[in-house]
Chains A and B, each alone.
Chain A
Amino acid sequence: EPEVTQTPSHQVTQMGQEVILRCVPISNHLYFYWYRQILGQKVEFLVSFYNNEISEKSEIFDDQFSVERPDGSNFTLKIRSTKLEDSAMYFCASLGQGGNEQFFGPGTRLTVL
C-alpha cells in the first residue's frame, strides 16, 4: 500500500540553527501539507501546497518557515532559525485528486535545545 514517508524520524538541533524536514508524498498525489503537534497538544495546520505554490498557511507559518518541492518526489519544510518552541512532531500529509482523505507520514520529532 502506498504511504507517505518522512526523514529523519528524529532531529535534534541547537537553537538558531536551520533544519530541513523531508517528506516523500504518495506518488500520484497533488496536494501536500505540513502539520505540527507539540507534545500533549492538538495537531495544528501549518501550510498547504499545490501546483508548486502555497495555497494556504496558518499564523504559525511565519517568515522563518518555507516549503519547497525541489523535484518530482520530495516535499520539504525548512525552519531557518529554530526556536525552543519549535520543538514538536512535524507531520507531512498528501491528498490525491478528487479524494478527501489526507494520508499522514509517520512524522519527524524535532527537538530544539
Chain B
Amino acid sequence: RKEVEQDPGPFNVPEGATVAFNCTYSNSASQSFFWYRQDCRKEPKLLMSVYSSGNEDGRFTAQLNRASQYISLLIRDSKLSDSATYLCVVANTDKLIFGTGTRLQVFP
C-alpha cells in the first residue's frame, strides 16, 4: 500500500465551482498533515496545515479523519489561478511524505 495515496485527476472544473480532493495515508503514527500546492516545474509551496478539528483559510477548507486515515481539501469558488497540482503530505518525524498529487485545471 502506498504511504500517501491520491487520485491523480485531472479535475477539470469551471470557474466558480467547488471541488474536493481526498487523500489516504497508511502510517497511523503520522503526526502532521499538510496540503502543498505545486505549479508546473516549480517547488512545492505550503497551502495549509491540516488539523483534526478541521481548518479553513479563505476559500480552502481542510479536514483530517485520524480514525480513517483520511485527509480532504475543499476549494470553493475556484479561480483560474487555482490551476495547479495539489499535494497531500504527511509527516511522522520532520521527514515529509508526499502523495503523487491531484491535478486541478480551472477553465473560464
- Chain A residues within CB distance 8 Å of chain B: 31, 33, 35, 41-45, 48, 55-56, 58, 89, 91, 95, 100-102, 104-107
Let me know if B44 and A44 touch, CB within 8 A.
no
Let me know if B42 and A106 touch, CB within 8 A.
yes
Let me know if A45 and B96 touch, CB within 8 A.
yes
Q: Does chain A have a CB within 8 A of B1?
A: no
Contacts of A35 in B (CB 8 A): 96
Contact A56 to B101, CB < 8 A, known contacts A43-B87, A91-B44: no
Which of B32, B43, B46 has most chain A Cβ within 10 Å?
B43
A100 to B94, CA, bound (A): 8
Main secondary structure of the interface of A (DSSP, over half): strand
- Chain B residues within CB distance 8 Å of chain A: 32, 38, 41-46, 49, 87, 93-101
Let me know if A101 and B44 touch, CB within 8 A.
no
A41 to B100, CA, bound (A): 6
* Cross-interface CB contact of B94 among A31, A58, A107, cutoff 8 Å: A31
Let me know if B101 and A42 touch, CB within 8 A.
yes
Contacts of B93 in A (CB 8 A): 48, 56
Contact A104 to B49, CB < 8 A, known contacts A45-B96, A48-B95: no
Let me know if B43 and A101 touch, CB within 8 A.
no
A42 to B101, CA, bound (A): 7
B61 to chain A: closest CB distance in Å? 19
Contacts of A55 in B (CB 8 A): 94
Let me know if B98 and A44 touch, CB within 8 A.
yes
Contacts of B99 in A (CB 8 A): 42
**A58-B95, A95-B94, A102-B46 provided; 14 other pairs, C-beta below 8 A?**
A33-B94, A33-B96, A35-B96, A42-B87, A42-B101, A43-B44, A44-B98, A48-B95, A89-B41, A104-B43, A104-B44, A104-B45, A106-B42, A107-B43
* Cross-interface CB contact of A42 among B46, B94, B100, cutoff 8 Å: B100
